[in-house]
Amino acid sequence: MSATILLVEDNPANRKLATTVLEHAGYRVLIADDATTGIAVAHQERPDLILMDIQLPGIDGLEATRRLKATEDTVAIPIVALTAFAMKGDEERILAAGCDGYIAKPFDYKIMIARVAELLAGATGDHP
């Protein structure tokens, strides 16, 4: 069975492109356009992995990650930050928030798929 990926992204063009690429790679994709919706979908659907945009309206992706990693039913879901930030301090903030990795924007979609596959393979044991 193919893995389910939750994409939390407020930019419609990025959302459409990432969804197309992920679906083409065989994943089931769930979409949320803000953090509040993303958190709700994560609890409801328990996706295998979350791609989390950091710059979101309202609650940002780092705070959403902190909340998901502080809750028992979502703590084990790998979260990959999607970020336009490139500074070293930002990488530290992203990892400190609980993200399992990050992909810098604008990103190469082959790299994105490779990172997703890698994290899903590593997380298999955590998801019965």
- Cα Rg of the chain (Å, integer): 13
* The two three-digit tokens of residue 17, written as one number: 């492109």
Of 106 and 125, the one with the shorter C-beta distance to Mn ion is 106
State the residue for tokens 């949320």.
32
Residue pair 48/7 in contact (Cβ under 8 Å)? The answer is no
Say whether residue 37 binds Mn ion (CB under 5 A): no
- Tell which one of 22, 25, 42, 53 touches Mn ion (CB under 5 A): 53
Q: Give the separation between CA 63 and CA 10, rounded to whole angstroms.
A: 15
Number of residues that bind Mn ion (CB under 5 A): 3
The answer to the question of residue 55 lying near Mn ion (CB under 5 A) is yes
With CB atoms as reference, the residue minimizing the distance to Mn ion is 55
Residues of this chain that bind Mn ion (CB under 5 A): 10, 53, 55
